Structure 1
Amino acid sequence: MRILVVEDDDDLRFAVAAALRGATLAVDVAADLPAADQALRFTAYDCVVLDRMLPSGDAVAYVRRMRQQGRTIPVLFLTARDSVADRIEGLTAGGDDYLVKPFALAELLARVRTLCRRTATTHPPVVRCAGLEIDTARRTVHRDGILLTLTAKEFAVLEMLAARAGATAHRAELIRRCWDVPTEPTSNVVDVVVSQLRRKLGGPPLIHTVRGVGYRMQPSA
């Protein structure tokens, strides 16, 4: 899942992005509405975490325009404005959730995951394939009963492949969904992570190369 964090406070922007990345989410950041608008026009996000009061204006008006244009991406407002009237205004304008500062990063993460699930394709919370067990809620992976230690990027790629087991995941789509910053589709970052995954997963192999396209997860014949 890919998240856009829009926050003008440098320290808070860094902390929120770090917390989301630590939960295996791909994160892009922006400090104002013009930068956020540019990112949203060129990248598909699963959720936007949006500071309400930015130097470039009140984000409520921006979200209202988004909804009028038919853009349905989930939006979570972050704000110090905590009155009932403020919350109603944000939600009425098209916000999907409203979190008041200061807040716990764990709560923010839970709310972001909830918003992302509303638009994501439904798949089982535990995926099993040829001795492999991926618990997407607990973020754990076992093979033949043995707990595997994966990096955040390895888990993100494995989760995406497992969610569509038997179908091919294009390399460009893996990059778009699992990497934080724009990466050229021809880059070998996906190949490096898949190579690491294959080594950790052991045999028989589960991740297969679809030459010139990407990767597919399925048991070996």
Structure 2
Amino acid sequence: MATYVLVPGAGGGAWYWRLLVPELQARGHEAIAVDLPAADESAGLTEYADTVVEAIGNRTGVILVAQSMGGLTAPLVCTRVPVALLVLLNAMVPSPGETGGAWWTNTGQAQAMAEQAAREGRPVPAEFDPEDIFFHDVAPEVTAEVLARGEQSQSQKPFDDPWPLKAWPNTPTVFLQGRDDRLFPLPFQRRVVQERLDIPVNEMPGGHLVALSRPKELADRLEEYRIRNIGSNVS
């Protein structure tokens, strides 16, 4: 049995992984979805990492999966507890000393998002439209369930914190990107990940919220990475 620890993106809700968790459990593994203190205005990257470390406890051989903004937190965890494999999923990749707030301008995310919309023949909304950006490939009933929860709070503090590591941790790292992601388009992620991590970007169908739109396919891909990087006998 392997242990998957799942770190969400902005909003910090373990609920994001609700469809992936049973898929991993059905394959015989432990799956821990972490709730981050996203609504706490005093909680920054250190507190986010503390929360994940606490969830891991004394487990070893952990496979850490980090979605979107979770890419700021997960590497910090890798310096504190044994992590066998880090999987970045549609994730932000920070540079040493960079804040999460500066990341957007430094990487050229807004231009990349607009260029992707133009390539696909989509208009760019005058205001950010979560349903258009995040839920375009999520089943209507799942979208309705998520939207019924209301907007999830996300404090500014972790975006203001300079990323504290001097270099990426020495943890095997895999990057998986949804090829239909409208927030972080695939060509954009290929460039950023090449510049900052110098590793390949793997792709799968799906948008930014692939754990909601394609949980079975995502579980299959995570299992593939586990076997390839760790081996089939994980306990």
State the TM-score bracket (shorter-chain normalisation).
0.3 to 0.5
Higher relative contact order (CA 8 A, sep 6+): 2
Q: Looking at CA atoms only, which structure, 1 or 2, has the larger radius of gyration?
A: 1
Q: Which has the higher strand share?
A: 1
- Give the TM-score, by structure 1 length: 0.42
